Amino acid sequence: MKPRLAILLGSVVAALTALVAVSPRVVAADKVDPAADAKAFQNFFFQKFPKLKPEEFVNGPYSMNEDLKRQWQEKEEFPPYEFALDAGKEMFATPFKNGKTYADCFPNGGIGIRQNYPYFDVKEGKVITLELALNRCREANGEAPYSYVKDEMASLTAYMAFTSRGKPFDIKIPDDPRALEAFENGKRYFYTRRGQMNFSCASCHVQSPGERIRAEILAPALGIMNAMPIYRSEWSGMGTTSRRFVTCNSQTRAVPLEPQSDEYRDVEYFLSYVSNGLPISGPGARP
Catalytic residue among 105, 201, 204, 248: 248
In whole angstroms, give the CA distance from residue 202 to residue 167. Answer: 26
Question: Is 105 annotated as catalytic?
Answer: no
Q: What is the DSSP string of 176-214?
A: -HHHHHHHHHHHHHHH--BTTTTB-HHHHHTS-TT-EET
Q: What is the DSSP letter of 279?
A: B
Q: Are 200 and 190 in contact (CB under 8 A)?
A: yes
Residue 253: partners with Cβ closer than 8 Å, 6 or more residues away: 195, 196, 197
Q: How far is CA 48 from the centre of its chain?
A: 20
Q: What is the CA radius of gyration of the chain?
A: 19
Q: Are 207 and 261 in contact (CB under 8 A)?
A: no
In whole angstroms, give the CA distance from residue 189 to residue 90. Answer: 36
Give the burial class of 98: count Cβ atoms within 10 A of its Cβ; 0-12 exposed, 13-18 middle, 19 or more buried: exposed
Return the beta strands (E) in the chain as ranges.
119-121, 126-128, 212-213, 216-217, 230-232, 237-239, 284-286
In whole angstroms, give the CA distance from residue 8 to residue 10. Answer: 5
Catalytic residues: 248
